[in-house]
C-alpha cells in the first residue's frame, strides 16, 4: 500500500474517533427520547469555548478542563430536558406533531447557544486551543503520527470504554438501557423514568462537549463549528442510529472514506460524502451497515 | 369541513389581489420588497404545511425544491428565452417531478429517518448549486434577468408586487381546494394513523408521494416568484437556516391551518425587521431571541398561535 493511502487511513481514524464520540451523543439522545438533537453541533461548539475559557481565564490545568466542560454541559443538557422537553412532550396532541415540536425545540436550543456565544465579546477573535500534547512526531513505517492525534485517539478510546462499562455494569447504566427499551415497563419496575431521561440528555450533552474540547486544538473555535454534527449524523446512520458500537465503527469508517475521497477523487467532493452516505444508507439499508436484521420498533 | 371551500373565503382572495394592485401606488419601495419576500415565503410555507401539517411527513427537502424553482425559472429565461409565464410552470413541474422521484423511496422511511434523508438531500442539492459552476454560477451567484409578463417588464419591487400577489392568491385557493378534497382527507388519515388509513382503503404510499410532489410544486412556484423581484441569487439563499425558518413559521403559526401558516410567516418574517428598526441595540441578540421564541412557542402554544386564538375564541 502506498504511504499516502496509509497516512490517509491513519488520519481518517483520528477524525473518525471524534465523529464517533459526537455520534454517540446523538444516538444516546435518540434512544432516550426518539428525537434527533439538532443542537448537538452547538453543544460541541460550547464545549470548545468552555475549554478555552477554563484554560485561558480560569487557568485550570489542561487535564481538568475536560471534567469542567463535561460538568457544565451535563447541566445544560439535563436542564434542557427537564425544563423544555418534558413540557413539550407532556402535551396531548397526537404522536407525530409532538416529535416535530421536540425537534424544533432542539433547533431553538441550537440558536440560543449560538446566539449567546455571538453576544459574548471575545468570540470575535478566532482562536484554537494549544495541542493536548506535543513533541516530535512518531514514525511508524511510512506513517507520521502527531502526539496530538495519538492523544485524541487515546482519549476517545478511554471515553468509549468508560461508556461501555457504565452501560454494562452500573445500575444507572442498566436503568438507562431499560428505559430506552421500554419506558412503561421500566417505570413499572421502579426506575425513575424522568430522571433517566435527564441523565441521558446530560450524558449526551457532556459527550458532545468533551468532543468539542478534543477538537478545539485541531479546528478553529468559531460559533459555526457546530456544522461538524453532519458528519456525526452520517456516522450514526452508518451504524444504524440505535447501536452504540455501530456509531464507533460508522465514525471511523466515515473518517477513512472521507480521506480516501480526498486522496483519490477531489477535495471538493469530501463535503458531499456525508450527505450521499446518509441518503444511500437510509434508502438501501436503513438498519445500518452492520446490523443483520431490521431492529424491532420499541413499544 | 369538506366539499368546496366557502365563497366567503374565496372572495377574500379577490380582496388580496385588489390590494396587490393598489398598494404599490401608496407604499414605499422597502415595504413592497418586504411584501414580495413574505408572500414568496408564504407560498413556500403553504407547501411545507401540506406535507408536514396535513400529510404528517417530516421532511427537510423543501428548500432544495425552492432552489430548483429559482434556478430553473431564471435559466429557462436566460438560456432558452422562455418567458416567465411558461418558464415558471415548467420550473414548478420540474421541482414536482424531482419531488416525486425523491418522495417515492423517501416515504418508505419512518419519521426521524425521513427527516434525516431529506435533510441530506437538501444539503446535497446545495452542494450541487455551489459546485455546478457552469449552470448556477457557483458561489458567485447568478444574475436574474428582469422577467417579462405579457409584455410588461418586471424585476423591481413595485412592478412585481401585483403578479406576486396574484400567484399567492392562486396558491392559497389551490391549497383550500386540496385540503377540503378527498386527497386532503386521505392525507389527514395518514397523518393520524397510517394503519387505519391503509385499512380504510387509502393508498398510503401513493398519497404520501403525491403530497411530496405537490409540496415540491409549491416550492417551485415560490422559486419562480423569487425571480420576479430579485435580480441575483446565490446558493446561500438555500441553506439549512432557511428551512429552519420555514419550519418555525408554520409551527409557531399553527400546523395544518391556513391562517396559522400565514400568521407565522408574517410574524417570524417581520421579526428581524422589527428588531433592526426599533431595537437596534438588541440586534446582536437576534439569534438568541429567535431560539427563545421557538422554545417558548413549543412549550406553551402546542397548536401554534392560530390554535391558541381558536381555543380562546371557543371559550
Taking the CA atoms of residue A123, residue A124, residue A125 and residue A126 in that order, the dihedral angle to the nearest 10 degrees is 70
Scan for cell 465579546, then name that residue: A121
Q: Per residue in A231-251, is it b (16+ CB within 10 Å) or e — as a string?
A: bbbbbbbbbbbbbbebbbbbb
Kindly report the number of other CB atoms within 10 A of residue B84's CB atom: 24
Q: Does any CB of chain B come closer than 8 Å to the CB of residue A96?
A: yes
Q: What is the pLDDT of residue B108?
A: 78
| Cα Rg of chain A, angstroms | 19
Question: What distance in Å separates residue A94's CA from the closest CA in chain B?
Answer: 7
Q: Is the distance from CB of B260 to CB of B250 less than 8 angstroms?
A: yes
Q: Per residue in A192-207, is it b (16+ CB within 10 Å) or e — as a string?
A: ebeebbbbbbbbbbbb
* φ, ψ at A112 (rounded to 5°): -60, -45
Q: Are the beta carbons of A104 and B251 separated by less than 8 Å?
A: yes
Domain-by-domain residue ranges, chain A?
12-225
Q: What CA–CA distance (Å, rounded) separates B170 from B174? A: 6
Q: Is the distance from CB of B257 to CB of B304 less than 8 angstroms?
A: yes
Q: What is the pLDDT of residue A96?
A: 54
Q: Per residue in B146-158, is it b (16+ CB within 10 Å) or e — as a string?
A: bbbbeeeebbbbb
Residues in Cβ contact with A200 at an 8 Å cutoff, skipping those fewer than 6 apart = A28, A29, A31, A32, A33, A81, A176, A179, A180
Residue of A nearest to B255 (CA): A97
Strand partners, B232: B143
Q: Are the beta carbons of A107 and B289 separated by less than 8 Å?
A: no
Residues in Cβ contact with A167 at an 8 Å cutoff, skipping those fewer than 6 apart = A173, A174, A176, A177, A244
For the segment A185-203, what is each residue's pLDDT rounded down to a tens digit? 888 888 888 889 899 999 9
Q: Are the beta carbons of B121 and A279 separated by less than 8 Å?
A: yes
Kindly report the number of other CB atoms within 10 A of residue A69's CB atom: 27
Q: What CA–CA distance (Å, rounded) separates B173 from B58? A: 24
For the segment A76-96, what is each residue's pLDDT rounded down to a tens digit? 999 999 999 888 887 755 545
Residues in Cβ contact with A36 at an 8 Å cutoff, skipping those fewer than 6 apart = A26, A29, A30, A103, A106, A233, B112, B115, B116
Give which of B275, B288, B277 is closest to A119, Cα–Cα: B288
Q: What is the pLDDT of residue A79?
A: 94
Cell of residue B78, nine digits: 436566460
Q: Which residues of chain B make contact with A285, given a CB cutoff of 8 A?
A: none
Distance from chain centroid for Cα A259:
20
Half-sphere exposure of B195 (CA within 13 A, CB side): 0
Q: What is the pLDDT of residue A139?
A: 79
Interface test with A, best of B271, B298, B303, B307 (most A CBs within 10 A): B298
For the segment B30-76, what is each residue's pLDDT rounded down to a tens digit? 889 899 999 999 999 999 999 988 888 888 889 999 999 999 999 98
Cell of residue A184, nine digits: 412503561
Residues in Cβ contact with B269 at an 8 Å cutoff, skipping those fewer than 6 apart = B34, B37, B38, B41, B249
* φ, ψ at A145 (rounded to 5°): -115, 125
Question: What distance in Å separates residue B121's CA from the closest CA in chain A?
Answer: 7
Q: Is the distance from CB of B36 to CB of B160 less than 8 angstroms?
A: yes
First to last CA, chain B: 21
Q: What is the pLDDT of residue A299?
A: 39
pLDDT digit string (tens) for chain B, length 315 residues: 566 777 788 888 888 888 888 888 888 888 898 999 999 999 999 999 999 888 888 888 899 999 999 999 999 888 888 888 898 999 999 999 999 988 888 777 877 788 888 888 888 898 888 888 888 887 888 888 777 777 777 778 888 899 999 999 999 999 998 888 888 888 888 888 888 888 988 888 889 999 999 999 999 999 999 998 888 888 888 888 888 888 888 888 888 888 899 999 998 888 878 777 776 666 677 788 888 888 998 888 878 888 888 888 875
Q: Which residues of chain B make contact with A237, given a CB cutoff of 8 A?
A: 116
Q: Which residues of chain B make contact with A286, given a CB cutoff of 8 A?
A: 109, 113
Q: Are the beta carbons of A107 and B244 separated by less than 8 Å?
A: yes
Question: What distance in Å separates residue B188's CA from the closest CA in chain A?
Answer: 12
Strand partners, A143: A140
B58 vs A100, A105, A286: nearest CB: A100
Taking the CA atoms of residue A246, residue A250, residue B242 and residue B102 in that order, the dihedral angle to the nearest 10 degrees is -90
Q: What CA–CA distance (Å, rounded) separates A2 from A23? A: 30
Q: Are the beta carbons of A241 and B113 separated by less than 8 Å?
A: yes
Taking the CA atoms of residue B7, residue B9, residue B12 and residue B13 in that order, the dihedral angle to the nearest 10 degrees is -90
Q: Are the beta carbons of B111 and A96 separated by less than 8 Å?
A: yes
Scan for cell 502527531, then name that residue: A146
Q: Per residue in A117-141, is it b (16+ CB within 10 Å) or e — as a string?
A: bbeeeebeeeeebebbeeeeeeeee
Return the ∠ at Cα B240 (arms to B117 and B280), rounded to 5°.
Answer: 160
Distance from chain centroid for Cα A12:
17
For the segment A129-162, what is each residue's pLDDT rounded down to a tens digit? 777 777 777 777 777 888 888 888 998 999 999 9
Distance from chain centroid for Cα A132:
20
Q: Which residues of chain A make contact with B301, given a CB cutoff of 8 A?
A: none
Question: What distance in Å separates residue A124's CA from the closest CA in chain B?
Answer: 12
Q: What CA–CA distance (Å, rounded) separates A225 from A44? A: 8
Question: What distance in Å separates residue B299's CA from the closest CA in chain A?
Answer: 5
Is residue A42 scored above 90 in pLDDT? yes
Q: Which of residues 170-199 of A touch B (CB under 8 A)?
A: none
Strand partners, A144: A139
Question: What distance in Å separates residue A97's CA from the closest CA in chain B?
Answer: 8
Scan for cell 441569487, then name that residue: B233
10 Å CB burial of residue A92 (0-12, 13-18, 19+) is: exposed
Q: What CA–CA distance (Å, rounded) separates A246 from B292? A: 34
Cell of residue A159, nine digits: 471515553
A282 vs B58, B116, B288: nearest CB: B116
Q: Is the distance from CB of A15 to CB of A258 less than 8 angstroms?
A: yes
Helix (H) or strand (E) holding B280: none
Q: What is the pLDDT of residue B196?
A: 87
For the segment A107-132, what is each residue's pLDDT rounded down to a tens digit? 899 999 998 888 877 666 677 777 77
Cell of residue A42, nine digits: 452547538
Q: What distances in angstroms separate CA A262 from CA A13, B18, B27, one per listed residue?
A: 14, 57, 53
Interface test with B, best of A38, A46, A94, A105 (most B CBs within 10 A): A105
Q: Which residues of chain A make contact with B286, given a CB cutoff of 8 A?
A: 115
Q: What CA–CA distance (Å, rounded) separates B41 from A212? A: 35
DSSP B188-213: HHHHH-HHHHHHTT--HHHHHHHHHH
Amino acid at each position: 500500500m502506498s504511504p499516502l493511502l496509509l497516512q490517509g487511513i491513519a488520519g481518517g481514524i483520528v477524525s473518525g474517533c471524534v465523529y464517533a464520540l459526537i455520534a454517540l451523543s446523538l444516538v444516546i439522545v435518540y434512544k432516550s427520547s426518539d428525537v434527533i438533537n439538532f443542537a448537538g453541533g452547538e453543544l460541541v461548539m460550547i464545549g470548545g469555548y468552555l475549554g478555552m475559557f477554563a484554560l485561558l481565564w480560569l487557568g485550570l490545568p489542561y487535564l481538568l478542563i475536560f471534567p469542567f466542560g463535561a460538568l457544565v454541559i451535563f447541566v445544560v443538557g439535563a436542564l434542557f430536558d427537564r425544563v423544555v422537553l418534558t413540557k413539550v412532550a407532556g402535551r396531548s396532541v397526537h404522536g407525530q406533531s409532538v416529535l416535530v415540536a421536540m425537534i424544533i425545540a432542539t433547533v431553538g436550543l441550537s440558536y440560543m447557544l449560538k446566539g449567546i456565544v455571538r453576544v459574548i465579546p471575545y468570540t470575535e477573535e478566532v482562536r484554537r486551543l494549544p495541542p493536548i500534547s506535543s513533541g516530535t512526531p512518531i514514525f511508524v513505517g511510512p506513517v507520521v503520527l502527531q502526539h496530538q492525534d495519538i492523544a485524541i485517539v487515546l482519549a476517545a478510546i478511554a471515553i468509549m470504554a468508560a461508556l461501555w462499562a457504565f452501560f454494562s455494569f452500573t445500575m444507572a447504566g442498566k436503568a438507562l438501557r431499560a428505559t430506552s427499551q421500554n419506558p412503561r415497563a421500566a417505570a413499572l419496575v421502579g426506575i425513575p423514568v424522568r430522571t433517566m431521561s435527564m441523565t441521558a440528555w446530560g450524558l449526551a450533552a457532556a459527550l458532545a462537549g468533551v468532543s468539542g474540547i478534543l477538537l478545539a486544538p485541531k479546528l478553529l473555535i468559531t460559533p459555526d463549528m457546530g456544522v461538524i454534527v453532519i458528519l456525526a449524523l452520517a456516522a450514526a446512520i452508518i451504524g444504524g442510529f440505535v447501536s452504540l458500537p455501530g456509531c464507533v465503527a460508522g465514525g471511523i469508517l466515515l473518517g477513512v472514506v472521507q480521506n480516501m475521497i480526498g486522496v483519490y477523487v477531489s477535495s471538493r467532493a469530501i463535503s458531499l460524502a456525508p450527505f450521499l452516505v446518509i441518503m444511500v444508507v437510509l434508502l438501501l439499508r436503513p438498519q445500518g451497515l452492520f446490523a443483520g436484521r431490521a431492529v424491532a420498533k420499541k413499544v | 369541513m369538506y366539499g368546496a371551500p366557502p365563497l366567503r373565503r374565496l372572495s377574500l382572495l379577490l380582496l388580496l389581489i385588489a390590494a396587490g394592485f393598489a398598494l404599490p401606488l401608496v407604499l414605499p419601495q422597502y415595504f413592497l420588497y418586504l411584501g414580495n419576500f413574505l408572500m414568496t415565503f408564504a407560498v413556500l410555507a403553504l407547501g411545507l404545511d401540506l406535507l408536514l401539517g396535513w400529510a404528517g411527513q417530516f421532511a427537510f427537502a423543501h428548500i432544495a425544491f425552492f432552489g430548483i424553482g429559482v434556478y430553473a425559472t431564471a435559466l429557462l429565461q436566460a438560456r432558452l428565452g422562455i418567458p416567465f409565464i411558461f418558464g415558471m410552470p415548467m420550473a414548478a413541474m420540474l421541482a414536482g417531478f424531482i419531488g416525486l422521484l425523491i418522495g417515492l423511496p423517501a416515504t418508505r422511511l419512518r419519521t426521524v429517518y425521513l427527516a434525516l434523508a431529506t435533510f441530506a438531500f437538501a444539503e446535497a442539492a446545495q452542494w450541487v448549486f455551489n459546485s455546478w459552476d457552469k449552470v448556477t454560477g457557483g458561489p458567485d451567484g447568478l444574475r436574474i434577468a428582469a422577467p417579462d409578463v405579457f409584455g410588461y417588464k418586471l424585476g423591481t419591487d413595485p412592478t412585481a408586487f401585483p403578479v406576486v400577489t396574484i400567484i399567492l392568491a392562486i396558491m392559497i385557493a389551490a391549497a383550500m381546494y386540496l385540503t377540503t378534497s378527498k386527497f386532503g382527507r386521505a392525507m389527514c388519515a395518514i397523518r393520524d394513523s397510517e394503519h387505519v388509513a391503509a385499512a380504510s382503503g387509502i393508498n398510503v404510499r401513493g398519497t404520501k408521494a403525491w403530497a411530496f410532489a405537490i409540496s415540491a410544486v409549491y416550492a417551485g412556484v415560490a422559486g419562480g416568484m423569487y425571480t420576479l423581484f430579485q435580480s441575483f441569487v446565490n446558493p446561500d439563499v438555500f441553506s439549512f437556516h432557511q428551512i429552519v425558518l420555514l419550519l418555525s413559521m408554520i409551527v409557531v403559526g399553527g400546523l395544518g391551518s391556513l391562517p396559522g401558516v400565514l400568521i407565522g410567516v408574517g410574524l417570524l418574517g417581520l421579526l428581524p425587521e422589527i428588531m433592526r428598526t426599533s431595537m437596534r441595540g438588541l440586534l446582536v441578540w437576534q439569534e438568541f431571541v429567535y431560539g427563545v421564541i421557538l422554545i417558548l412557542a413549543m412549550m406553551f402554544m402546542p397548536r401554534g398561535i392560530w390554535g391558541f386564538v381558536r381555543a380562546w375564541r371557543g371559550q
